[in-house]
Amino acid sequence: MIRRLYEWILALAARPSAPWALGLVSFAESSFFPIPPDVMLVPMVVSRPDRAWTYALIATLASVAGGLAGYAIGALLYDSLGAWLFHLYGLDKGAEAFREAYAQHGHWVILLKGLTPIPYKLVTITSGFARYDLFWFLVLSLITRGLRFFILAGLVGRYGGSIRTVLDRHLNAVAAVFMAVCVLGFVGFRYLF
């Protein structure tokens, strides 16, 4: 199944709809979807290294736009949809501690969490829930998401041939490590806050 998904994403990179698909996944991941856009970004850049910066820009802008949707969920719908999402991910208790962290370290929380495997949707929803300053939320989101996606796209664009060889030979192992990192992000969020 993972191999078919990987090959589908590689084929998708050649289609005119590729940027739209990446944008949709990037948007959704920042507000409710559990799969990070890296899953699409890496194979797309491997397939089309000449479009690495374009893909990184799309992922960044769509992720920040999705972050605004997540912020709105936290600010306007936390008692219903936001709390349900936190409960779905088993992070009910962490939400309140995370909110308190904003009182002292809001800038650093957004910057650091946007670069880690901790799901960014948790940052966006909690930012709205904590009523964090929207202007600074946008600025910091652009910085952190831009750094993440442009660094990833740059590395994959430069070393794409080697990365593709590793992915072709060891896709299941790479997918298992990636999933482990995502799970550690969730666990880290639960136990750090």
pLDDT at 43 > cutoff 80: yes
Residue matched to tokens 């990365």: 163
How many folded domains does the chain comprise? Answer: 1
Domain assignment present for residue 98? The answer is: yes
Domain assignment present for residue 44? The answer is: yes
Question: In terms of pLDDT, which residue wins out, 149 or 99?
Answer: 149
Domain assignment present for residue 76? The answer is: yes
Domain assignment present for residue 17? The answer is: no
Whole-number pLDDT of residue 7: 75
Q: What is the mean pLDDT of residues 123-129?
A: 85
Q: How far apart are CA 93 and CA 104, in angstroms?
A: 19
pLDDT > 90: what percent of the chain? 27
Domain assignment present for residue 6? The answer is: no
Closest CA to 143 of 175, 107, 193: 107
User: What is the per-residue pLDDT across 47-102, written as a single tens digit (0 to 9) for each?
Assistant: 888 999 999 999 999 999 999 999 998 888 877 776 777 677 666 666 667 667 67
Domain assignment present for residue 165? The answer is: yes
Question: In terms of pLDDT, which residue wins out, 127 or 183?
Answer: 127
Whole-number pLDDT of residue 32: 80
Q: What DSSP state is assigned to residue 35? A: S
Domain assignment present for residue 81? The answer is: yes
Whole-number pLDDT of residue 163: 74
Average pLDDT over all residues of the chain: 81
For residue 31, give Cα distances in angstroms to 25, 41, 141: 10, 18, 13
Its domain, for residue 96, covers 22-30+38-192
Domain assignment present for residue 11? The answer is: no
pTM of the model: 0.78
* Number of helices (H), then strands (E), in the chain: 8, 0
The length of the chain, given as a count of residues: 193
Backbone CA torsion sign across 59, 60, 65, 70: positive
- For the chain, the distance separating the N- and C-terminal CA atoms, rounded to the nearest angstrom, is 35
Q: What is the mean pLDDT of residues 31-35?
A: 79
Give the pLDDT band of residue 111 (cuts 50, 70, 90). confident
Question: In terms of pLDDT, which residue wins out, 17 or 122?
Answer: 17
pLDDT at 130 > cutoff 60: yes
Question: In terms of pLDDT, which residue wins out, 142 or 168?
Answer: 142
Whole-number pLDDT of residue 1: 63
Residue matched to tokens 């739209």: 20
> Residues near 98 by Cβ (< 8 Å), separated by ≥ 6?
109, 122, 126, 130, 189, 193
> Residues near 82 by Cβ (< 8 Å), separated by ≥ 6?
73, 74, 125, 128, 129
